[in-house]
Structure 1
């Protein structure tokens, strides 16, 4: 069985740095979206959604929702980039995407991913191993 291809540690760390920022931004954006939805439908929405909605919160929601969608797409692309650089399995990719769906989970997911990246870079061969020797 051939030896596994070495990882590019510099590229992996750069990719993780971008993913880390995206995780934090996505977490904040999702929390803002949840607050907007609560204000729109629970606090000012009345009993029947979409009929007695406050025009202000309806406008805020219509502006913020696509912005959050764009932020999530950037998060997914950067998660995919990290997944490719680390050569992880499909399950890890799905987990990275899932972290951005539930409020505050992206913050915990970022910490967990950081631990996995560090552990994998310490355990697996990298292109930079020769430079250290």
Structure 2
């Protein structure tokens, strides 16, 4: 059985750095969206007294929701890029996407992914190992 192709250490770390930023931005954007939706539906949504305030939160929601959607799509693309460079299995890609769906989970998922990247780069052959002749 042939040896697995070595990972490109620099490309993997660069891809993870981009994913790390996207995880933090996605986590913040999702928390903002949850706050907006809470204000819109739970705090001001059902009371006729606050119709102007409720209208304000509808406006904010209609602006922020597509922005958050775009941020999530960038997060998924950068997660896919990391997944490809690390040559992980499909369940790990699905897990990376899931981290961006649950509020606050992207922060924990980023830490977990960082540990997985570091351990995989330490255990699996890399181009740097090949260049050093190890």
TM-score with structure 1 setting the length: 0.94
What's the offset of the Cα at 1:62?
Answer: 0.1
Residues in 1 aligned to 2:89 and 2:47: alpha-carbon distance in whole angstroms: 45
Instruction: Flag the structure with higher helix content.
Output: 2
What's the offset of the Cα at 1:52?
Answer: 9.1
8 Å CA contact 1:45–1:52 kept in 2: the answer is: no
Residues in 2 aligned to 1:92 and 1:118: alpha-carbon distance in whole angstroms: 15
Q: Deviations over 1:21-77 (max 9, x none)?
A: 0000000000000000000000000179xx997110000000000000000000000
8 Å CA contact 1:27–1:104 kept in 2: the answer is: yes
Residues in 2 aligned to 1:79 and 1:45: alpha-carbon distance in whole angstroms: 35
Q: Please name the residue that 1:65 is paired with.
A: 65
Residues in 1 aligned to 2:91 and 2:31: alpha-carbon distance in whole angstroms: 25
In structure 1, list runs of 5 or more residues that go unmatched. none
Residues in 1 aligned to 2:124 and 2:40: alpha-carbon distance in whole angstroms: 49
* Structure 1 residue 33 corresponds to structure 2 residue 37: no
Residues in 2 aligned to 1:115 and 1:33: alpha-carbon distance in whole angstroms: 28
Q: Please provide the CA RMSD for this pair.
A: 1.7
Equivalences, count: 131
Residues in 1 aligned to 2:7 and 2:73: alpha-carbon distance in whole angstroms: 26
Residues in 2 aligned to 1:14 and 1:126: alpha-carbon distance in whole angstroms: 14
In structure 2, list runs of 5 or more residues that go unmatched. none
